[in-house]
Chains A and B, each alone.
Chain A
Amino acid sequence: RKEVEQDPGPFNVPEGATVAFNCTYSNSASQSFFWYRQDCRKEPKLLMSVYSSGNEDGRFTAQLNRASQYISLLIRDSKLSDSATYLCVVNGDNFNKFYFGSGTKLNVKP
């Protein structure tokens, strides 16, 4: 079983739509969770960390469900510029080791 699993997509949505991604992780001892976005042929960039209480940053909301071992990312009012691959990242037993999901591709269309 993979450490982190994501639906690869692609998710094709119109501008203005709300879209949600889920990610499941296998290690119940994981403590740190992140969403990164990666544009084509570029490095990943931190979108947001995910906290136990859930957190929001503008149009983006991240949630953590420890009982079910999944994290989610909600994007409201999608923009064309949101088109990218979204990577779920979870740390392992060793807090300095991170596991990446395979990414979920989002295409926002006009």
Chain B
Amino acid sequence: GAVVSQHPSRVICKSGTSVKIECRSLDFQATTMFWYRQFPKKSLMLMATSNEGSKATYEQGVEKDKFLINHASLTLSTLTVTSAHPEDSSFYICSATGTSGRVNEQYFGPGTRLTVT
């Protein structure tokens, strides 16, 4: 099946700093990547959708200047949490759809656990 990787898997940073999370599709071309966040015991909340080579589409309530998304190639998307605050601490998960597998099936990365101190 399709494989999506994320890096780092875990990061601790100080309040006010920025953190970059990478999401890669390893064996297929990801035409669309999604970024989610998940708080404990809650479901995934879609933050934004990105298509290769175009600007990301952010969900209502998600600050695009705070959560910078770049989808520069068909195998890589990055999410940068700028000026992180403790309330940004969460589990961030990316997923991808593309040319592998059945149409519209999403393949998830293993997630990045961000802790802001």
A: which residues have CB within 8 A of B?
31-32, 34, 41-46, 49, 87, 89, 91, 95-103
On chain B, the residues within 8 Å of A49 by CB distance are 102, 105
Q: Is the interface of A mostly helix, strand, loop or mixed?
A: loop
Which residue of A32, A42, A46 is within 8 Å of B111 (Cβ)? A42
Chain B, 73-111, contact with A by CB distance < 8 Å: what is the 0/1 string? 000000000000000000101000100001111111111
On chain A, the residues within 8 Å of B109 by CB distance are 43
On chain A, the residues within 8 Å of B32 by CB distance are 96
Tell me if B46 counts as interface (CB < 8 A to partner A): yes
Which residue of B104, B107, B110 is within 8 Å of A91 (Cβ)? B104
| A41 touching B46, Cβ below 8 Å | no
Tell me if B25 counts as interface (CB < 8 A to partner A): no
A-B contact pairs, 27 of them (CB 8 A): A32-B103, A32-B104, A34-B105, A34-B106, A41-B113, A42-B110, A43-B108, A43-B109, A44-B44, A44-B93, A44-B108, A46-B1, A46-B105, A46-B107, A49-B105, A89-B106, A95-B104, A96-B49, A96-B104, A97-B46, A98-B34, A99-B46, A100-B44, A101-B43, A102-B42, A102-B43, A103-B43
